[in-house]
Amino acid sequence: MNLKVLLPSEIFIEQEVTKVTAEAVNGSFCMLPQHIDFVAALVPGLFSYEAADGAQVILAMDEGVVIKRGADVLVSTRNAVRGQDLGALRQVVEEQFQEMDEREKKARTAAAKLEADLVRRFMELKEHG
């Protein structure tokens, strides 16, 4: 399979692989070359693959999307970190990626409150105008 991992600013990985394992909303899954084509939303977690030479590579990966189409596996994510220590990678996921998601949720909540306040004030102006 041809694996390509895309970050917003670069192609992080592009290589031949024989197996891909990732974490989706409904749990972990594994893809082999004969796997059917599909799309899945990835959650912050561990992503691993077996290179064509047999080397096992593990990444800590932020949320994203994986698309398998024929022999191509395309992953788009905001952030990924390569490492050998499974514990350290799990810590990266927990501390960095999940914390980032919490900050984004707070920012979205604040934006929604501002938008609701703007609409309310607009309606008040309309009533008095």
Enumerate domains of the chain plus CATH numbers. Answer: 2-128 (2.60.15.10)
Separation between Cα atoms, residue 101 and residue 79, nearest integer Å: 12
pLDDT tens-digit map of 46-99: 899 999 999 999 898 988 999 999 999 999 998 888 877 767 677 766 767 666
Instruction: Please indicate whether residue 114 or residue 34 has the higher confidence score (pLDDT).
Output: 34
Q: What is the pTM of this model?
A: 0.70
Across the chain, how many H-helices and E-strands are there? 2, 9
Mean pLDDT in the chain? Answer: 85
